[in-house]
Amino acid sequence: GENVEQHPSTLSVQEGDSAVIKCTYSDSASNYFPWYKQELGKGPQLIIDIRSNVGEKKDQRIAVTLNKTAKHFSLHITETQPEDSAVYFCAAGSGAGSYQLTFGKGTKLSVIP
């Protein structure tokens, strides 16, 4: 089955700096890569996703890059703000016929004001 590794497990940055979280996956059939943000006491919520026919996707201060050859994808948050503090999960899923998502272990991001 799919295996997703996520690094680092914890990350502290100063407000205004950038944060990068990296994930690798093992199944070359995976073609859907979402990122979820989990705030304290809440369920994970999708913040951005990318499909294997796209190399990079941006949404305001958040961007995700995908390297299918190397089987890794990354989340980039620029100009971090205190409200970005949360646990972030990457995930990988294959396409039609199997809708399972395999999640990484999570990264706890702390943005220091």
Partner 1 sequence: EAQVTQNPRYLITVTGKKLTVTCSQNMNHEYMSWYRQDPGLGLRQIYYSMNVEATDKGDVPEGYKVSRKEKRNFPLILESPSPNQTSLYFCASSLIGGLNTEAFFGQGTRLTVV
Q: By the criterion CB under 8 A, which residues form the site for partner 1?
A: 1, 6, 9, 31-32, 34, 36, 41-46, 49, 51, 89, 93-96, 99-106
Minimum distance of partner 1 from residue 104's CB (angstroms): 6
Closest contact distance (angstroms) between CB of 32 and partner 1 is 4
Tell me which residue of 40, 2, 53 sits closest to 24, measured CA to CA: 2
Judged by beta carbon, residue 3 or residue 18, the one nearer partner 1 is 3
**Which is nearest to 104 in space by CA: 94, 88, 93, 89?**
89
Encoded tokens for 80: 């971090």
Question: At its nearest, how many Å lie between partner 1 and the CB of residue 10?
Answer: 11
Tell me the CB-side half-sphere exposure of residue 13, using CA atoms within 13 A: 23
